[in-house]
Amino acid sequence: MRFDGKNALVTGGAHGIGAATCRRLVAEGATIVVADIDGESAARLAAELGPAATGYGLDVADPAAWDRLGRWLADEGPGPLDVLVTNAYTLTVQPAMELALADWDRQIAVDLSSVYYAVRTLGPMLIARSGAVVCVSSVHAVVGYRGHPAYAAAKGAITALVRQLAADYGHQVRFNAVLPGAIDTRAWDGVDQEERDRHAALAAAGRMGQPEEVAAAIAFLASQEASYICGASLLVDGGLTTSKF
């Protein structure tokens, strides 16, 4: 029960890695806010998790929405946070010269700027609680895939931002990132089996990862077991980035 008595919030918490993380943290004693732009799915997951969970509809790209969230946490929600997991993302697959400006802007806002908004809004309460922040980046931060310019730029920037936040605030709040590889979530629902098998073969482990495996890494970094880990970027990719490229 590493999170007994701790309050946590997970963005993009209703599905995939976010949902697995919510389940893991609740199982280890946390009170959780499942934050997602899909408020209905967030509420359903919270109902499944029981009284320790609350669903909250949140557009992470809207700074005003973060301000409302901060007030809600203080006035109506579970209270100040001990753990923040930034996991929300959006993706448009298109090479840079064909990518619409609006699609670039939206991906940067959701995938990267939201981390800044979260820290700006929730940082003071995390400092007061000597909390921990885990940002979900991606192997796209360190390797290139065709057609992912904004996503790669955002995920690479997250790892740099985590280092900077650790340099600025690491004596008060621990900031770390996880870099998942090919994880079997609904993002892969429209991908045919041949392509899934190709990505599985790229990993040294010879398979795709499961959301629960990333959630385990997030829970570790957020816990006191990782008390001397700060500013790190942990690959959770089955060895995808070791030798296959």
Catalytic machinery residues: 151
Please report, as a single letter, which amino acid is at residue 99: L
Residue 175 CA to residue 106 CA, distance in Å, equals 24
Strand 83-86 and strand 53-57: the pairing is unpaired
Burial annotation 50-74 (CB, 10 A radius, 16+ → b, else e): eebbbbbbbbbbbeebbeebbeebe
Mark residue 197 as left, alpha or beta (left: phi above 0; alpha: psi -120 to 50; beta: remaining).
Answer: alpha
Residue that has been written with the tokens 């209905």 in this structure: 40
- Segment (H or E) for 47: helix 39-49
57 beta partners? 36
